């Protein structure tokens, strides 16, 4: 743990050293603009005051408190016809992302990175998919829009099937070793092409510390927080169109992912037959 110096200059230097330790060399643009200013201060405060909170506890907080509260608000909004519940969901969505960045920065700042921590963080991140599907269902009820209601059910079914295939892949030992990430990331669905576009954009904008990728925080903001903001501002038609587009895109995403996983299984079987 880095101790803060008594002198002002020494304190500034130690804070700079700690920031280099806790911050990613290349981060999400949304994190750079709207998250890091808060999470770095919280990380400094926790370390400086030796507050007994661990990165894993923050992951548990995200999974078992923040996410359920968001889901509760998303169900209460159409049930009572009150936009204030959507406002509450938006606030907790921001806390959801903040907690995601905070646990990583705290883990790096206190040298408490671990395989268990990475596993818990990954599981907690998957809550964002659940939140998106629930939000689609909630907005379908709010707008009385059958497309969004049935679309959310379709997405839930596809995601469940997708996870079932991944579980069985590892259960039967088909996917092993360093290539496991291919089963989980979305690069086989064209996300890498989106990242190429963003990297070209950043060559023009030259935003410091941005990796030029469409990261997790951007996806969470675009799919959940942005529609909530538009709805709260009264852009009803735009919100409907955006959510319908997302529904179609995500259905295509999971269908492609399932197809690629089945292809992976077939390739492994052919290799074993040889």
- What is the distance between the alpha carbons of residues 235 and 237, in angstroms, rounded to a whole number? 6
Q: Is 81 inside a domain boundary?
A: yes
- Within a domain: residue 46? yes
Half-sphere exposure of 182 (CA within 13 A, CB side): 14
**Position with higher pLDDT, 260 vs 100:** 100
Cβ(163)–Cβ(174) under 8 Å? Answer: no
**Mean pLDDT highest for which of 82-96, 104-118, 176-190?**
82-96
212-239 average pLDDT score: 94
Structural domain contains residue 168: yes
| 154 lies in some domain | yes
Expressed as residue numbers, the domain containing 14 is: 8-273
Domains in the chain, number? 1
Residue at 1 is within a domain: no
Task: Kindly report the number of other CB atoms within 10 A of residue 227's CB atom.
Answer: 23
Residue 220: predicted pLDDT: 94
Structural domain includes residue 167: yes
pLDDT at 111: 86
Please name the residue that has the structure tokens 């921590």: 117
2 lies in some domain: no
7 pLDDT band (50/70/90 cuts)? Answer: very low
- Range of weakest confidence among 148-162, 180-194, 230-244: 180-194
Q: Is the pLDDT of residue 2 over 80?
A: no
CB 224 within 8 A of CB 39: no
Asked whether the predicted pLDDT for residue 190 surpasses 70, the reply is no
- For residue 3, being part of any structural domain is answered with no
Distance, CA of 130 to CA of 85 (rounded, Å): 18
Q: Give the CATH number, domain containing residue 72.
A: 1.20.120.1760
With H, G, I as helix, E, B as strand and everything else as coil, classify residue 210: strand
Q: Cβ(80)–Cβ(145) under 8 Å?
A: no
Per the CB < 8 A criterion, the answer to whether 210 and 27 are in contact is yes
Across 158-178, average pLDDT: 76
């Amino acid at each position: 743990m880095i101790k803060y110096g008594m002198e002002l200059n020494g304190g500034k230097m130690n804070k700079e050293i700690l920031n280099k330790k806790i911050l990613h060399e290349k981060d999400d643009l949304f994190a750079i603009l709207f998250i890091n200013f808060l999470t770095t201060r919280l990380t400094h405060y926790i370390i400086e005051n030796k507050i007994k909170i661990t990165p894993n506890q923050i992951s548990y907080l995200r999974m078992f408190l923040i996410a359920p509260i968001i889901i509760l608000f998303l169900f209460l909004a159409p049930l009572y016809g009150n936009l204030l519940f959507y406002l509450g969901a938006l606030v907790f969505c921001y806390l959801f992302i903040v907690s995601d960045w905070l646990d990583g920065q705290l883990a790096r700042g206190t040298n408490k990175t671990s395989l268990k921590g990475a596993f818990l963080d990954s599981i907690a991140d998957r809550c964002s998919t659940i939140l998106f599907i629930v939000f689609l269902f909630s907005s379908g009820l709010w707008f009385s829009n059958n497309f969004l209601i049935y679309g959310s059910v379709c997405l839930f079914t596809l995601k469940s099937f997708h996870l079932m295939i991944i579980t069985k892949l590892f259960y039967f030992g088909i996917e092993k070793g360093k290539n496991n990430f291919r089963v989980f990331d979305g690069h086989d669905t064209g996300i890498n092409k989106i990242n190429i576009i963003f990297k070209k954009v950043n060559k023009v904008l030259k935003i410091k510390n941005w990796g030029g990728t469409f990261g997790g925080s951007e996806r969470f903001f675009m799919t959940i927080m942005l529609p909530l903001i538009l709805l709260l501002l009264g852009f009803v038609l735009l919100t409907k169109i955006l959510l319908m587009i997302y529904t179609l895109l995500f259905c295509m995403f999971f269908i492609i992912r399932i197809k690629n996983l089945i292809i992976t299984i077939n390739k492994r079987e052919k290799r074993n037959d040889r």
